[in-house]
Structure 1
């Protein structure tokens, strides 16, 4: 790719191994289903979804020099993602995520992101070279360590960037504290993640988003499964939009589709309510088994 990217996605780029059963599973269940081996990681998921919206995304991440890494890079490039700025010399195998889903959603997952964690701030090196002077959107995912997120919050190379932040999972939500303390970024959370950052339970997405804004965040978007999503921002009224009812076909990656669709709408200068509607509808389509646009 010769054009400068529109978006940088910084974080996990790995293989997703997703097992899905067509019915509800109990702990310890051994049931028939389908297992998929697909490109994944929050940063790469957002980049792939952004490419479907006609944007030019690039990923800053760590990918092994093994056969799985070569295949992952080739597939990401085929899907429209700029992989020219990856860190490939970690000495570790390509990272992997394993998830189990049933008819009602995610049962359990394990993320092996050791290559990304080992690479640390080396993945940011292109910001001093080909990507210097960056002022466009940057998607940050919670697979980055808390220490590296703190470095990014203070990094002068990203001082003018439009930061879009997603925790990757509820267990990693607290890693975002340095960015909240720095009052940097627009946060994309589910209600549980928002409650963790707010330090209290919240009855709905709107109150959860407002609670994180009260903690110091400038802007927060919160999803809540089949219930209305919300966009809360300092100095503006909170807005909500309810997703259409859908049959669950998959859940992994829904939040990444939400973020990419929302960002694409805002880059087209759509108003807040239209951007939120596009994000909610895109996420719902993903959950139903479709991809939009």
Structure 2
């Protein structure tokens, strides 16, 4: 008997190519370090963390029918993710993300998610054709959604009756894609997971604290906003209240994927019945363990 999903993860599923060096780097630096290739993408990073918490996530994304795609699907299944609803394309290659990290943080990154964008609404077919839901019988569970989808497709999700009963949890994927979440402000739907910079881009201003940012997002129409600020206090705010938490002090050894780990741990905690403040604390601990290297990739 096949497993059923506890949560859907929609967005980028790709290969992460990460170069890390213990040296402080600047533009043009040429230093020794390590280069790894691991399964990644925002949706998959979230799904992998959810699986570590004992949940069964299903992936909705685009993966090519190339050798890289076949290998990636095998890895996704090994990591506890359901892949039977993936859109597999003969014409679109498997996407790739490449990043360089030094002792002074993320130096540069390029996200090649063109196949996901080209696949468009086809990745959402299981939610409209009856496989997982439809406009007449909307999917009723939790959906983790990332901003690697186009703004027009995200706008459709924000307004489409097929998503009307879902608990939407949305992340922008990167500051450069933060404004793609504007449809959810306009629709007053979902929980937004953003960092301080992303909150500023959505609000067209800058903020000193996560609390200020979260309150501003609510004023602009957000139903709920969870704003992180690196090692400083983060905030979870909606019409019912405001909750704050401070990350544990740890030695940072990596950055890429930390926000996805925070989001997944927070969702898992709330699915398990944790209170708002408990869920925030658990998510901050999980993210701290990740950036310190305690959680293996």
1:81 match: 81
Q: CA deviation at 1:90?
A: 5.1
Matching residue within 167, 188, 197 for 1:162: 167
For residue 94 of structure 1, what is the aligned residue in structure 2? Answer: 94
**1:179, 1:185 within 8 Å by CA — same for their partners in 2?**
yes
Q: Which deviates the most, 271-280 or 152-161? A: 152-161
Give the unaligned 5+ runs of structure 1.
none
Q: Deviations over 1:151-185 (max 9, x none)?
A: 11122111100000000000100000111101110
1:63: which partner in 2? Answer: 63
Match 2:250 to one of 243, 246, 251: 246
Deviations 1:225-261 (A, max 9, x none): 111111111131x221111111111111101110111
Question: In the TM superposition, what is the alpha-carbon distance from 1:3 to its structure 2 partner?
Answer: 2.2
Q: Map 1:138-217; keep pairs closer than 5 Å.
A: 138-217=143-222
SS in 2 for 1:63: strand
Q: TM-score, normalised by structure 1?
A: 0.97
**Deviations, residues 164-219 of structure 1 (Å, cap 9, x unaligned):** 00000001000001111011100000110011112211111111111111111011
What is the distance in 1 between the residues matched to 2:89 and 2:31? 39
2: CA distance, partners of 1:24 / 1:244: 24
Q: Distance in 2 between matches of 1:2 and 1:181?
A: 38
Residues 160 and 204 from structure 1, CA distance in 2 versus in 1: closer, same or farther, beyond 3 angstroms? same
Q: Are 1:263 and 2:264 matched, yes or no?
A: no
Point out the more displaced range, 166-175 or 130-139: 130-139
1:281 and 2:282 equivalent? no
CA RMSD of aligned residues (A): 1.1
Whole-Å separation in 1 of the counterparts to 2:194 and 2:41: 16
Separation in structure 2 between the aligned mates of residue 54 and residue 24 of structure 1, nearest angstrom:
37
Q: Secondary structure at 2:152's aligned position in 1?
A: helix
Q: Distance in 1 between matches of 2:285 and 2:59?
A: 25
Output the CA distance in 1 between the equivalents of 2:186 and 2:45: 27
- Secondary structure in 2 matching 1:88: strand
TM-score normalized by the length of structure 2 = 0.96
* Residue in 2 that maps onto 1:130: 131
SS of match in other structure, 2:63: coil
Q: Which structure 2 segments of 5+ residues have no match?
A: none
**Superposition misfits of 4+ residues, deviation over 2 angstroms:** none
